[in-house]
Amino acid sequence: MYDYDLIVKNGLIVDGSGKPARQGDIAVKDGRIVSMAPAADATAARTIDANGKIVTPGFVDVHTHYDGQATWDEHLAPSSNLGTTTVVMGNCGVGFAPCRSADHDVLVQLMEGVEEIPGTALVEGIPWNWESFPEYLDAIDARHHDIDVAVLMPHGPLRVFVMGERGVNREPATAEDIEAMQHYIREALDAGAVGFSTSRTLVHRSSSGEYIPTYRAATEELKQLGEALSGDAGHVFQLISDWEDAEDEFDILRETSRRTGAKGTFTLLDLKTTGATGLPLWEEHLQRIEDAQANGLDIRGQVLSRPVGMLMGHPASMSSFSRRPTFVELEQLPDAERFAEMAKPEVKAKILSEENVNPHMFVRIFEQRFDTMYPLEEPINYLPAKEDSVAAQAAAAGQDAEEWLYDYFLGNEGKNLIYIPAANFSEHIPDMLSHPNTVVALGDGGAHVGSICDTSANVYVLTKWVKEKQAIELPAAIHMLTRQPAELYSLLDRGLLAEGMVADLNVIDFDSLALRTPHIVADLPAGGSRFLQGADGLELTIKSGEVIYENGALTDALPGQLLRGAQADPRASA
């Protein structure tokens, strides 16, 4: 008989509290940390020597979109393979419940357009063995996963469920509509939803190109829906917005928190825009957050640790040429034949003379912005220099930028990609990350699978801002990645290495920690493709005392669970 299930010994423990690291051992039994100082002669079913390594809590990622993937996939990569042991999904007002069978296609198109998950994968992969939101939670709960999942109730499906075609067409909600939506929100919260989410951004559109059901939903509608939340239960209102009227938009969160005590959180990026006061909008938002906190309102910004990183090229889901008629005609050919055909001068000239037909919003915005495009390198550089852009390289070659890009995409057997730091390309990222009322987030795990792979943004905090730039101290960075996001969602039994806590741990060779360049795999239902990414130095990820990843390889352990609502701090009950 062993004393413990697991002992991790001799590690440099960075416990998630923000306090200095210390050398020590951790003992685990029945999925919990039971001792931070086990006896020297204690025995365990497995003992891990972490000498020369750091030991941290598992990362907590509060902004993901595994709403579809979690219904068919046991492994929630690319989060679980990058040290994350708890995710929150249902963000940005999109998801798959509640939903009547007649509206399946509407929600598939909504998720395909907003979060760029292939509709064919969603149609084939989602079992649709639910209608109500509680039934959806039960369906998630019935599956085994490698990591824990918490779920927000999304506004988009709710509006369609209650209002039908009127909701899809973004008509104003009546008093009866709002009362019904409040009822279903409370039903979801009672079943274990951790809050409510919505989107009010122009960039979020259905795959048909239409605005999403929540776009420009009346401010008063959202404030009334927020009344269904409860601060005592730890609920959170999550919002993404274009901030056309920043004060009015922020007041949705402010008023919800004032009326209910619920927390508010929103996407906070440096978008190079100026607010009403003349300050950068991100600085204005931090002032609003500070004012709210001073008045007892718990509102926090979600910050991405690097630019939003778009990937384009023939292996990806889009490029500057992907919706041009001649390019579309050639898509049915095997790759080698297609690229050979595209290399012919007359075909190249024809494609370059055409325009994209109904392209994705990302292509509409970036297809001609060659000064923001950078050839993808190994290892990937998320903060590239201007002289490395496509525009600069084309100019150096004496070539038109569009033609240079066309030829570049055909190189390396058609595998070449470009990286576009689409937003948040900012020198102020460490300032936003270090603010006491922000959380590291926005990796969007499970979303934008063919054009963005930002889930590794949590690891990037360590590789860029701690190791390379030394702009953030290691204990503070681990606190940002673990306890801070856990506290936002009142998941108080994790994000900290202490006796009684859930035994979620990472064992990291910090000296060798480095991100690999994203790569494309075709492992989605219906043969759909997505980007995945790995990291060197992440030696072990442990969920509830079970090793789920070892040196980048997954194990057969599936200890993950659905988290129904807030999780109490076990130290308080003790």
> Are 36 and 499 a contacting pair, CB within 8 Å?
yes
Minimum mean pLDDT range among 23-27, 105-109, 268-272, 482-486:
105-109
Q: What is the pLDDT of residues 461-489, one digit of tens each?
A: 999 999 999 999 999 999 999 999 999 99
Placement of tokens 């969602």 in the chain: 489
Residues 379 and 501 in one domain: no
Q: What is the pLDDT of residues 16-41, one digit of tens each?
A: 999 999 999 999 999 999 999 999 99
Residue 208 has pLDDT above 60, yes or no: no
User: Does 265 fall in a domain?
Assistant: yes
Q: How far apart are CA 124 and CA 374, in angstroms?
A: 35
Residues 67 and 165 in one domain: yes
User: Does 523 fall in a domain?
Assistant: no
Residues of the domain holding 227: 60-306+424-455
Residue 354: the pLDDT is 98
Residue 106: the pLDDT is 87
Residues 65 and 47 in one domain: no
Sign of CA dihedral 141, 498, 304, 290: positive
| CATH code of the domain covering residue 6 | 2.30.40.10
Q: How far is CA 81 from CA 309, 340, 459, 536, 537, in A?
A: 19, 37, 11, 11, 12
- Give me the amino acid identity at 224: Q
Residue 206: the pLDDT is 46
Residue 142 has pLDDT above 50, yes or no: yes
* Phi, psi of 3, deg, nearest 5: -70, -40
User: Does 573 fall in a domain?
Assistant: no
User: Does 474 fall in a domain?
Assistant: no
| CATH code of the domain covering residue 206 | 3.20.20.140
Minimum mean pLDDT range among 81-95, 176-190, 209-223, 240-254:
209-223
Residue 204 has pLDDT above 60, yes or no: no
Residues 77 and 4 in one domain: no
Q: How far apart are CA 171 and CA 221, in angstroms?
A: 12
Residues 175 and 300 in one domain: yes
Mean pLDDT, rounded, of the chain: 94
Please identify, among 400, 419, 438, the residue that sits at the C-terminal boundary of a domain: 419
User: Does 188 fall in a domain?
Assistant: yes
Quick one: tokens of 394?
Answer: 């084309």
DSSP class of residue 102 equals: G
Q: Tell if the pTM clears 0.85, that is, is over it.
A: yes
Residue 574: the pLDDT is 64
Residues 327 and 370 in one domain: yes
Residue 218 has pLDDT above 90, yes or no: no
User: Does 571 fall in a domain?
Assistant: no
Confidence of residue 112 (pLDDT cuts 50, 70, 90): confident
User: How close are the terminal C-alpha atoms of the chain, in Å?
Assistant: 26
Residues 174 and 287 in one domain: yes
User: Does 476 fall in a domain?
Assistant: no
Residue 210 has pLDDT above 70, yes or no: no
Number of domains in the chain: 3
Residue 205: the pLDDT is 43
Confidence of residue 520 (pLDDT cuts 50, 70, 90): very high
Residues 138 and 277 in one domain: yes
Residues 191 and 220 in one domain: yes
Mean pLDDT value across residues 504-516: 98
Q: What is the pLDDT of residues 292-314, one digit of tens each?
A: 999 999 999 999 999 999 999 99
Residues 319 and 177 in one domain: no
Q: What is the pLDDT of residues 161-175, one digit of tens each?
A: 999 988 888 888 999
- If residue 251 lies in a helix (H) or strand (E), which one and from where to where? helix 246-260
Quote the distance between the C-alpha of residue 271 and its chain's center: 18
Residues 326 and 289 in one domain: no
> Are 537 and 511 a contacting pair, CB within 8 Å?
yes
Quick count: other Cβ atoms within 10 Å of Cβ 215?
A: 20
User: Does 464 fall in a domain?
Assistant: no
Residues 119 and 234 in one domain: yes
